[in-house]
């Protein structure tokens, strides 16, 4: 049935129009009857990207190029979160490289108008839940992301303890590609107690990332995001900056279309108030919470 016909048919039934993204037999009909369908996030609702990589680690572009691409998409900010040194295959950031990168970010922020560049990092969560970057170094960053990049086969109890330890780290702002570490058609999700993780993240004010790197991650999933919301978890979008996209002018929108516009991803991000950027110490060293929606 054509789209306009669908609108007519739902109207004839006394229902508000139910967008295709919500048609999963998961309460949307009841919500339409009560006029309580959620608002779907559109491209214009995205105000920044909380997780991108550059040539400083495994990215393909400079910080300036990434910032210019973000500015073209009308973003207000972009968080440079190159891999830490523990991920050797990604040519990760040593302490010295982090300090040098901080200088470049500061200079670009003074030079560039219309975009704020946040200096961050994607640290590794080791097998015991520790981050592989010293606390004094993390304290000097604007935004700290950390994720599990190895040891995916730990028992469920151990993996849960590992993630809980990381979430309670003093400087962690967001858990990357959480909480399952899946790669579609390549790697199964790792196992842990999801309810314990969501409860802890909400209490610690740590974001769970909606990782938009297509087509392999898309994690958190729609189901897990709904579940996280019941605990009051705040979610942030990161494209995980595709490292090999040839057209730099489209590099961010290429990935951001997945969380903002692709079917069930739009449903997952359906509540603007739950979509946040800049949670934690903030851009000026003070506590802040910048709404994306």
Taking only the tens place, the pLDDT of each residue in 134-190 is 999 999 999 999 998 877 778 889 999 999 999 999 999 999 886 555 554 455 566
SS3 236: strand
pLDDT of residue 145: 94
* Mean pLDDT of all residues in 191-198: 86
> Is the Cβ–Cβ distance between 31 and 20 less than 8 Å?
no
DSSP-derived letter for residue 190 is: P
Radius of gyration of the chain (CA): 19
Overall pTM surpassing 0.85 (yes/no) = no
Better-scored residue on pLDDT, 144 or 270: 144
Query: Please, what is the average pLDDT of the chain?
Result: 75
- The answer to which of 89-103, 104-118, 161-175 has the lowest mean pLDDT is 89-103
Give 99-105's long-range contacts (Cβ < 8 A, gap of 24+): 101/56, 101/63, 102/140, 102/141, 104/63, 105/63, 105/80
Do the bridges between strand 143-147 and strand 288-291 make them parallel or antiparallel, or are there none, so unpaired? Answer: unpaired
Residue 60 has pLDDT above 80, yes or no: yes
* Mean pLDDT of all residues in 206-213: 81
Better-scored residue on pLDDT, 87 or 271: 87
Calculate helix-pair angle for 194-204, 222-230, nearest 10 degrees. 60
Do the bridges between strand 116-124 and strand 77-80 make them parallel or antiparallel, or are there none, so unpaired? Answer: parallel
pLDDT of residue 170: 93
- 220 pLDDT tier (thresholds 50, 70, 90): confident
pLDDT of residue 4: 47
Calculate helix-pair angle for 194-204, 156-167, nearest 10 degrees. 10
> Is the Cβ–Cβ distance between 289 and 276 less than 8 Å?
yes
* Mean pLDDT of all residues in 14-21: 80
């Amino acid at each position: 049935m054509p789209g306009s016909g669908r609108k007519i048919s739902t109207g004839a039934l006394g229902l508000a129009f139910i967008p295709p993204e919500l048609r999963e037999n998961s309460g949307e009909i009841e919500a339409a009857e009560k006029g309580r369908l959620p608002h779907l996030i559109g491209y214009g609702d995205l105000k920044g990207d909380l997780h991108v990589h550059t040539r400083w680690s495994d990215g393909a572009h400079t910080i300036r190029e990434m910032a210019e691409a973000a500015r073209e998409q009308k973003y207000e900010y972009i968080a440079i979160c190159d891999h830490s040194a523990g991920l050797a295959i990604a040519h990760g950031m040593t302490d010295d490289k982090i300090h040098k990168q901080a200088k470049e970010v500061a200079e670009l922020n003074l030079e560039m108008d219309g975009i704020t560049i946040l200096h961050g990092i994607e640290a590794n969560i080791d097998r015991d839940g520790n981050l592989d970057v010293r606390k004094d170094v993390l304290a000097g960053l604007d935004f700290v992301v950390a994720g599990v990049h190895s040891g995916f086969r730990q028992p469920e109890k151990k993996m849960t303890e590992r993630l809980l330890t990381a979430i309670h780290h003093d400087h962690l702002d967001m858990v990357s590609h959480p909480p399952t570490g899946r790669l579609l058609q390549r790697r199964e999700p790792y196992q842990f107690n999801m309810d314990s993780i969501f409860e802890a993240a909400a209490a610690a004010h740590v974001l769970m990332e909606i990782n938009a790197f297509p087509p392999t991650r898309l994690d958190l999933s729609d189901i897990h995001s709904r579940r996280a919301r019941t605990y009051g978890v705040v979610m942030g979008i990161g494209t995980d900056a595709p490292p090999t996209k040839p057209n730099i002018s489209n590099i961010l929108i290429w990935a951001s279309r997945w969380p903002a516009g692709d079917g069930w991803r739009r449903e997952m991000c359906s509540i603007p108030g739950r979509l946040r950027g800049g949670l934690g110490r903030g851009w000026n060293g003070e506590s802040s919470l910048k709404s994306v929606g």
